[in-house]
Copies of this chain bind each other. A is one copy, B any other.
Amino acid sequence: MLVVKVGGSAGNDYDALCDDIAGRWQAGERMVLVHGGSDQTNRLAEALGHPPRFVTSPGGHTSRYTDRRSLEIFMMATAGLINKQLVERLQMRGVMALGLSGIDGRLLEGKRKSTIRVIEQGRQMILRDDWTGTIDRVNVSLLRALLDAGYLPVVAPLACSTVGEAVNVDGDRAAAAIAAALGAQTLVLLSNVPGLLRNFPDEASLISHIPRADLESYLDYAAGRMKKKLLGAQEALAGGVQRVILADARVPASISQALAGGGTHID
């Protein structure tokens, strides 16, 4: 069992990815595809006059502040557009894809963080009306039932809070939770970089292998989203996944290249 996450950044080749998935699917491999959508969400939010607001935590981490309107825009961009376009691409290649988000059938369940502490102009303050969350539980029986019936689940990064609210979750960590819950052998995290780079953005400085015991010491090389990917990798490995591969979504046969040794292998 393979779990693949693909980001939504410019340059990622969805058509080539879906060609690769179709080839592997028709050869009998079973997998789950998880996608992101921050970039499309940002573009839609700008177009609708509700631009994204990024905030800094007291610990120095930057994250998106998701008010209710931002959550609705996130739903449209991810569960609406990206999810259905991926399903369409796969269906056109003969793959029985089925799109869901984490709120559907409580596929991904967690806690909503309705208030967040942020630093603005040097002062600490609390923002309310936040709609992000963590993932504590995966509805594995739903995923297995779909896989057993011959469907390829395509998952949008929403989750369902304990009381049933929709929340925005990180796609990499959603993929990690799914891979761990399914007991997947491999988790592939695809984005618009070749993997973890020792000297970002120098692509020749790709780190090709990280022993899992040393993962912590590599966190220093990671900036921005790459940090969340390493965090996801850590969570997946701790949950029993055998290897995590960070690889390039801009190239043909991205999954197959990654499985054949491309990208950064963490095991």
- Which residues of A are in contact with B by a Cβ distance under 8 Å? 44, 47-49, 72, 75-81, 83-85, 87-88, 90-94, 96-101, 103-106, 141-142, 145, 149, 151, 158, 160, 163-166
Contacts and interface: CB of A to CB of B under 8 A. Distances in A.
Copies of this protein chain in the complex: 2
A108 to B, nearest CB: 12
Contact of A98 (B47, B92, B100, B164): B100
B87 A104 contact: yes
A234 B100 CA distance: 32
The interface centre, meaning the residue of A85, A88, A101 with most chain B CB atoms within 10 A of its CB, is: A88
Contacts of A96: 105-106
A96 B90 CA distance: 27
B84 A101 contact: yes
Contacts of A151: 105, 142
Given A80-B75, A84-B75, A97 B92 contact: no
A100 B99 CA distance: 7
B93 A104 contact: no
Given A75-B81, A80-B79, A87-B103, A92 B149 contact: no
Contacts of A163: 92
Contact of A92 (B47, B88, B100, B164): B164
A66 to B, nearest CB: 14
Nearest to A103: B87
